[in-house]
Structure 1
Amino acid sequence: MKELIEEYGQGYEMIRKSIEGLTEEGVRFKPAPDKWSIHQILIHIADSELVSTQRIKKVLAEEEPILFSVDQDAWANGLDYNQLDREQYLQLFKILRSSMLPILRSLLPEKGERVGVYPDAGKFTVKQLLEYRVKHVQGHLSQIEQVRKAYQKNQA
């Protein structure tokens, strides 16, 4: 669990590194009409972190709480991610992760086994929720790299 928490703690730096050197045009480039730009991906990562931080806290504090999923495309479209301040959202992500680190680092092993329940997906432990947070960022880092490559190819 310690390694997992440390990787979780590196999420912000990993995201920042993934967007180094990009122009505004590159950040706003959409590889296809139905695909997200890097800008939209970054806003989504922060929104997802906001919801997930609340879920993890809920599981740590309450007995088998009910957890709810969100429709990420509805959020991206309904909140018009294109007009949101990317830097604010990156800072939000950073603050959320850094605010959770002391909580996670001080967890007793049995707290990692506490569960929350998704009506549509069943029970998840704190450890599983944390693993998903790490995988979520990793998946989007790969997506950012793919969009970067598509942008570079488009510029050639």
Structure 2
Amino acid sequence: MKHTVNDGFPYYIELVEGKDYQQLFASKEAIDLLKSLRESKATYRYAPNKWSIKQIVGHMTDHERIMTYRALRFSRKDKTTLPGYDQNLLVENSRFDELSLSQLLNDFENVRNATLSFIQSLSPEQLKLTGMAWKFELTVEEFLKATVGHEQHHVAVIKEKYLSSN
């Protein structure tokens, strides 16, 4: 692995290198793992100032919404440079910890189903179109790979930091 999480999109894209990103989007592995957790576990933080599992789920959902919106714009040949976003601001101003894990997972699944529908609507030509978000110019397909790679990253963190130590 040549990138780190601090590199952003390149790191997430690298996480899915050699894998079928559409199959990763269709996989229920992350949802099944998260559905297996007790509600009490979902508020666990492995260290002070770290997000709870509920906050991670909400963040993954927000991130997928934002990335799919970007991919949509770029797939329609919109060349507007789109800004980045402050993930901490979005989590801090959410209600993720107040909602049940079930509600959060339902929202995540709804967003995922919309993403899958969007992906299925794209032509091979649209997947090759490019757009600029924050400081990254990527193809639509790369935005999608970065999106599912982001999920892969957070699921690995949940397994390593949240489920193995508590």
TM-score range, shorter chain: 0.7 to 0.9
Aligned-pair distance for 1:2? 9.7
Residue 154 of structure 1 is matched in structure 2 by none
Runs of 4+ off more than 6 Å? none
Under a length normalisation based on structure 1, what TM-score does the superposition of the two structures give?
0.83
Counterparts of 1:11-90 in structure 2, within 5 Å, are 13-90=28-105
Distance 2:118 2:38 in 1: 36
Residue 11 of structure 2 is matched in structure 1 by none
Aligned-pair distance for 1:80? 4.2
Name structure 2 gaps, 5 residues minimum: 1-17
Residue 113 of structure 1 is matched in structure 2 by 128
Instruction: Give RMSD over aligned pairs.
Output: 2.1
Residue 25 of structure 2 is matched in structure 1 by 8
Aligned-pair distance for 1:89? 2.9
Tell me the secondary structure at the aligned position of residue 40 of structure 2.
helix
Residue 41 of structure 1 contacts residue 140 of structure 1 at CA under 8 Å; is this kept in 2? Answer: yes
Q: After the TM superposition, which of the residue ranges 13-22 and 64-73 deviates more from structure 2?
A: 13-22
Residue 39 of structure 1 contacts residue 82 of structure 1 at CA under 8 Å; is this kept in 2? Answer: yes
Distance 2:37 2:115 in 1: 29
Under a length normalisation based on structure 2, what TM-score does the superposition of the two structures give?
0.78
Q: After the TM superposition, which of the residue ranges 121-130 and 103-112 deviates more from structure 2?
A: 103-112
1:132 aligns with 2:146: yes
Partner AA of 2:156 in structure 1: S
Distance 2:148 2:140 in 1: 13
Partner AA of 1:9 in structure 2: A
Q: After the TM superposition, which of the residue ranges 58-67 and 132-141 deviates more from structure 2?
A: 58-67
Distance 1:126 1:72 in 2: 21
Distance 1:59 1:2 in 2: 23
Distance 1:21 1:122 in 2: 36
